[in-house]
Amino acid sequence: MTATAESLFVTVALKSWDVWLTRLDKILDALTDEQLESPVVPGRNRAFYIYGHLIAVNDSMIPQLRLGDPLFPEFAETFIKQPDRAATIYPTTIQLRQSWKDLNRQLSELLPQLSPTAWLERHATVSEEDFAKEPHRNRLAVLLSRTSHLSYHLGQLQLREK
């Protein structure tokens, strides 16, 4: 297998990430502040919460890929650990939109820096001992998992009343 072939695996995975991120970005960008405040379907999470949740989960990729510290560590508490409407303070929609942009810029700089070999190295939440036995628990697995996480919530946002 040539170097080109090796890098093709990574190219395809990064392209898939980009495709779903772009689709999501388009939808989130089109939602007004009022629409963000409404539940996606009656009685369920607000689009606002899903927006913050996506920022929190994608931001957590930075430490999980061992690429540094998250930009918005406080989002994890509000948008992952707690359900919607449980926190006492939420960011404003302006902060949310800016955080999403800043994070996407940061990820678009960090992700292409990893070599094919680096993508096959362990992610942060598996020990070196376990990784020796389960080498599929690598950075690439994190990227694929987070890509499907994007499409999972995109599917939900698409169910909003038009």
Q: Closest approach of Cβ 6 to a second copy, in Å? A: 5
12 binds a second copy (CB under 8 A): yes
Closest to a second copy by CB, 46 vs 71, is 46
* Residue in 26, 44, 101, 105 binding a second copy, rule: CB under 8 A: 44
Q: How many chain residues touch a second copy (CB under 8 A)?
A: 40
Rounded CA separation 50/100 (Å) = 12
Q: Estimate to the nearest angstrom the gap between the alpha carbon of 98 and the chain centroid.
A: 15
- Whichever of 61 and 91 has its CB closer to a second copy, that residue is 61
Helix (H) / strand (E) element for 9: namely helix 3-30
Contact 81, 52 (CB under 8 A): no
The rounded distance, in Å, linking the Cα atoms of 129 and 14 is 28
Tell me, residue by residue from 14 to 43, as one string, x for binding to a second copy by CB under 8 A and - for no binding. Answer: -xx--xx-------------------xx-x
Binding mask 91-120 for a second copy (x = CB under 8 A): -------------------------xx--x
Residues 6+ apart with CB under 8 A from 100: 25, 28, 51, 54, 55
Query: Is position 48 an interface residue for a second copy (rule: CB under 8 A)?
Result: no
Q: 74-98 burial, b if ≥16 CB within 10 A, otherwise e? A: ebbebbeeeebeeeeebbebeebbe
Site residues (CB under 8 A) for a second copy, limited to 132-151:
135-136, 138, 140-141, 144-145, 147-151
CA distance 24 to 16: 13
Binding site for a second copy (CB under 8 A): 1, 4-6, 8-9, 11-13, 15-16, 19-20, 40-41, 43-44, 116-117, 120, 135-136, 138, 140-141, 144-145, 147-156, 158-159, 161
